[in-house]
Amino acid sequence: MPDLYPLISPLLRALPAEAAHRLTIRALASGLGSAGARRAEPDPPILKQILWGRDFPNPIGIAAGFDKDAEVPDALLRLGFGFAETGTVTPRPQPGNPKPRIFRLYNDRAVINRMGFNSRGLEPTLARLRARQRVGVVGVNLGKNRDSTDAAADYLAGVRRVGPLADYFVINVSSPNTPGLRDLQRREILEDLLRRLVAARDEAAPGTPLLVKIAPDLSPVERADIAALAGPSGIDGIVIANTTIARPVRLRSAAAGEQGGLSGGPLFAPSTALLREIYRLTQGKIPLVGVGGIASAADAYAKIRAGASLVQLYTALVFDGPALVGRLKRGLAELIARDGLASIADVVGADHVLASATPPPSRRQA
Ligand SMILES: Cc1cc2nc3c(=O)[nH]c(=O)nc-3n(C[C@H](O)[C@H](O)[C@H](O)COP(=O)(O)O)c2cc1C
């Protein structure tokens, strides 16, 4: 299948970011760009993995926010993603923040967004998930309505209503664009929230993995608290990380001063450092999903070595187009083979094994 993206990309670039995104979704929904892609190029077997009893043909997923209303999960799978995360979906429809609210930072290969959970609500997502054939892994990222006074009730409604239609759930307590949302990451609040959500999951969708998505801006204490909670809470994984309100590097693009969450290249280092730390703190006992700034096979490989069982991306797709997915998979398979490893599972957390095998400095000198 020829890569048509170089032809289309000047058009997308000329459009406002959100209009370009709508056009992309429409193109995917109409079958353009992905027809036959998967069949033409099967995934390298070395990338296969079974996690939570689900088959992942490759570890590269599309991150939440791209397909908020579950319009094109199967088209994204056909594009070559190993799994697709739809959402964030809120229980009731809501418009999100005023436009413009997505900004492309070409010189930084980054995006700033302050979408604010624009969502058509649970109903359309439910209808679309019900109508699809259950092939491939499709997760649902759940949020709360901006005007809701009971956050837990919103997430509980998501878990109960989406129930067995999701292959996994993500509880999004980390978007920077809904006031107060990130406070839910505080230990005493999160502990209670997760206990109730795990119980709801056990009732509505037993066996469906429940993950929590965290922010890259957590304090050291919050990081330790979340790691300590992970095991006892009964959750099945952590997605690391959402966009950042920090500006970790000096940005060079015209839109650098916009308010909102930053994603793409500048997020790679801080999100990977957080992933590495959470893997260490949880001793590799809980699967982690690494997301933030992945734009090459080397980036994806670095996240997996730091502790991710799966990875996701969004922003690099804006700059590089869908052919990136195939390049990442081929490159990742080559890197694994180069290092003499047999499967993705052998790579997960490999940096930590090496670090603990390295003798302390005093012995090294001897
Ligand atoms: C325009 C845009 C919208 C997003 N919307 C959501 C969302 O609704 N829910 C969510 O959990 N993350 C959302 N994200 C965050 C991404 O899922 C991801 O965590 C982040 O962008 C870092 O990955 P990246 O650098 O590959 O883009 C959004 C990101 C962007 C750029």
pLDDT digits (tens, 9 = 90+) for 270-308: 999 999 999 999 999 999 999 999 999 999 999 999 999
Q: Which residue has the higher pLDDT, 40 or 153?
A: 153
Dist. CA 243 → ligand 1 center (Å): 6
- Tokens linked to 147: 């005007």
- Tokens linked to 287: 């699967």
- Our measurement of the distance from residue 92's CA atom to the centroid of its chain's CA atoms, rounded to an integer in Å, reads 23
264 Cβ below 6 A of ligand 1: yes
Distance separating alpha carbons of residues 158 and 143, to the nearest angstrom: 8
Which residue has its alpha carbon closest to ligand 1 atom 13? 65
Q: Answer whether residue 14 shows pLDDT above 90.
A: no
Dist. CA 244 → ligand 1 center (Å): 10
178 Cβ below 6 A of ligand 1: no
| Ligand 1 atom at minimal distance to the Cα of residue 170 | 11
Q: Which residue has the higher pLDDT, 166 or 248?
A: 166
Q: Whose CA is closest to 58, among 343, 318, 321, 319?
A: 343
Dist. CA 258 → ligand 1 center (Å): 16
Q: Which residue has the higher pLDDT, 13 or 64?
A: 64
Dist. CA 234 → ligand 1 center (Å): 25
**Per-chain mean pLDDT for the chain:** 92
Q: Are 169 and 127 in contact (CB under 8 A)?
A: no
| Ligand 1 atom at minimal distance to the Cα of residue 295 | 26
| Ligand 1 atom at minimal distance to the Cα of residue 111 | 31
- Tokens linked to 312: 């996701």
Type of residue at 259: Q
Amino acid 365: pLDDT: 42
Q: Is the pTM of this model over 0.85?
A: yes
Residues 216-244, mean pLDDT to the nearest whole number: 95
**Cα 155–170–259 angle (5° rounding)?**
85
Q: Are 76 and 66 in contact (CB under 8 A)?
A: yes
Q: Which of 294, 314, 317 to mutate to test the pocket of ligand 1 (most atoms within 8 A of CB)?
A: 314
Distance separating alpha carbons of residues 113 and 104, to the nearest angstrom: 9
- Tokens linked to 211: 């993950």
86 Cβ below 6 A of ligand 1: no
How, if at all, do strands 54-56 and 49-51 pair?
antiparallel
Q: Answer whether residue 3 shows pLDDT above 80.
A: no
Amino acid 366: pLDDT: 35
Q: Convert the pLDDT of each residue in 140-154 to its tens digit.
A: 999 999 999 999 999
119 Cβ below 6 A of ligand 1: no
Name residue, tokens 């930053």.
Answer: 262
Q: Answer whether residue 41 shows pLDDT above 80.
A: no
Dist. CA 191 → ligand 1 center (Å): 24
Res. 34 pLDDT band, cuts 50 70 90: low
Dist. CA 309 → ligand 1 center (Å): 19
Q: Answer whether residue 322 shows pLDDT above 80.
A: yes
Q: Which of 243, 245, 249, 315 to mutate to test the pocket of ligand 1 (most atoms within 8 A of CB)?
A: 243
Q: Answer whether residue 263 shows pLDDT above 90.
A: yes
Q: Convert the pLDDT of each residue in 73-124 to its tens digit.
A: 999 999 999 999 999 999 999 999 999 999 999 999 999 999 999 999 999 9
Amino acid 363: pLDDT: 44
What DSSP designation does 191 have?
Answer: H
Q: Which residue has the higher pLDDT, 334 or 14?
A: 334
Is 309 marked active-site? Answer: no
Q: Whose CA is closest to 23, among 36, 12, 35, 39?
A: 12
What DSSP designation does 43 have?
Answer: P
Helix axes 350-357, 268-281, angle to 10 degrees: 60
Q: What residues contact residue 108 under an 8 Å CB cut-off, 6+ apart?
A: 249, 251, 252, 253, 256, 264, 265, 266
